[in-house]
Amino acid sequence: MNRRQLLQTTLTAAVAQSAGSGSSRAAAEEKGTLPQGKIGDLKLSRMILGGNLLTHYTHSRDLKYVYNLCAHYNTDEKIMETLAAAEANGINTVSMHNPPRPMGVLRKYRARGGKIQWIICPTAKVTEDMEEYKTQVRELIQEGCEAIYLWGVHSDKLMADGKIGLIAKAVEVAKDEGVPSGVGAHDLRVIAECEKQKIPADFYIKTFHHHKYPSGPKPGQIKGPYAENPGYWCSDPEATIELMKNVTKPWIAFKVMAAGAIPPKDAFRYAFENGADHILAGMFDFEIQEDAEILRTTLAGLNRTRPWRS
């Protein structure tokens, strides 16, 4: 079987499984389905496929060869096989930023019959007139993007520069186009300020992982927010837990495995038991089935500290 035949076979299975899925707990535990939540009217699997491996932006710390290795493995066809494998295992959404070539692969995948939803963070500059950002958001929605969020790279910088008003403007741009509009962040202060200013985001995408892994920060090593601690994507997990307890908007946690440093079984449980409503997980195609099984097992026995908000 060649790659194209494999993709078509997997896509057919994904579509058939999606058509037969229900909302009951029993259905959600069947192979090929995952429990879901909702942001507005948008139904999202509890695990969302993260896009960094698909865009070859691997966050591999000082192992620079990994970027090249990932690019050679995740060819355009392999990315489509990965999307199909995600759908076949109940993952109904992918989230990433919007470099041209990977976006072209998403469009091609849909043209072949793929149904996976897109949550995209535009990379266009966020400026006072918002013109470039508005244009990119409209283009994404015209292409079929189901939800938009402000890229954490942008929101962290806007927060540091005291430009919270531009975060609010970015949220309104997507809301005006009629899709769920969120805010991404590495810096916890972004979420705190959005809540304080009552910015009407529909959801948050915030980094979240513990520090109990070999290359994690040692006591006293973290001295400030994320921007001052490159390599540690959630600089204060305990503060994140405390803040998010009182946030009533859906929370999608990302970097839950600290870019591959924390095993999925540990990372998934930590994220969900401490409040996340969904997780982003960057996965190669051969990891998806196992991670989906880990997720089902994890969700079946949680002791959450925060009500489900999605």
Q: Mean pLDDT across the chain, nearest whole number? A: 88
Residue 35 lies in a domain: no
Residue 20 lies in a domain: no
| pLDDT band of 20, cuts 50, 70, 90 | very low
What pLDDT, on the 0 to 100 scale, is given for residue 52? 78
Residue 273 lies in a domain: yes
What is the rounded distance in angstroms from the CA atom of residue 244 to the CA atom of residue 204? 10
What pLDDT, on the 0 to 100 scale, is given for residue 28? 40
What pLDDT, on the 0 to 100 scale, is given for residue 25? 39
In the predicted structure, residue 230 carries a pLDDT above the cut 80: no
Pair 211, 217: CB distance under 8 Å: yes
- What is the distance, to the nearest Å, from the Cα of residue 307 to the centroid of all Cα atoms in its chain? 20
Residue 282 lies in a domain: yes
What pLDDT, on the 0 to 100 scale, is given for residue 68? 85
Residue 114 lies in a domain: yes
Please state, in angstroms and as integers, the Cα–Cα distance from residue 54 to each residue in 9, 48, 114, 136, following that order: 21, 13, 16, 20
Domain that holds residue 154: 43-299
> Which CATH number characterizes residue 284's domain?
3.20.20.100
Residue 293 lies in a domain: yes
Residue 10 lies in a domain: no
- The whole model's pTM is what? 0.87
| pLDDT band of 232, cuts 50, 70, 90 | low
What is the rounded distance in angstroms from the CA atom of residue 18 to the CA atom of residue 90? 8
What pLDDT, on the 0 to 100 scale, is given for residue 301? 87
Residue 13 lies in a domain: no
Number of domains forming the structure of the chain: 1
